[in-house]
Amino acid sequence: EIPLRLVGSEMCIRDSALAVFSLVSVVIYLSRRAKYRMNLQDLHLHGKAHRSITQAELDELAKQTASLQRIQGSGGMSYKPISDSVYLISGGTASDGLELQVQSVKHMSIAGIPVEFPFPMESFLADNNQAEVVIAKKFAVVIGLNGHRLAQ
């Protein structure tokens, strides 16, 4: 009986340690997401627009949003900008996320700004990036990256 109790208590300790590690991971993830949202808000409120978005870029974003929403449903991701302003951001990329039993969540940022990449923009990422972005509801949308444009 004693070895069985020991094994049971070891399993309990291991499960508790895993729960604490998971909780710490969630707290770190959520604090990063909050910081990224604040950076996005600062860009929107205090950033200087580089240029205005073109009609061709708006059309391409609308086309890609429609494709995403056919897959995800009407409440899915939208690349629709909240204004016509295009901003320049420069810096490295970071990726963070969570893996849950039912799904995994991954987010990317450039220079601390949460970004999404319409196809094929993510393929132009480098160690250091110069990105043109428009601001959507919850993230910045990359419409130009390292000399490549979403639409002309």
Place of tokens 């061709």: 56
pLDDT at 24: 65
pLDDT at 6: 45
pLDDT at 20: 60
pLDDT at 102: 66
Tell which residue, 53, 95, 61, has the closest CA to residue 78: 61
CA distance linking residue 59 with residue 48, whole number of Å: 24
141 near 134, Cβ under 8 Å? Answer: yes
What does each of the 152 residues of the chain score in pLDDT, given as a tens digit? 444 444 445 555 556 665 665 666 666 666 666 777 888 899 999 999 999 999 999 999 999 999 988 888 777 788 999 999 999 999 999 877 666 666 666 788 999 999 999 999 999 999 999 999 999 998 999 999 999 999 87
110 near 129, Cβ under 8 Å? Answer: yes
pLDDT at 4: 46
110 near 92, Cβ under 8 Å? Answer: yes
Beta strands per DSSP E along 15-121: 51-52, 85-91, 93-99, 104-110, 113-116
Q: Give pairs for 90-93: CB < 8 Å, separation 24+.
A: 90/128, 90/129, 90/130, 90/131, 91/128, 91/129, 92/127, 92/128, 92/129, 93/125, 93/129
pTM to 2 decimal places: 0.75
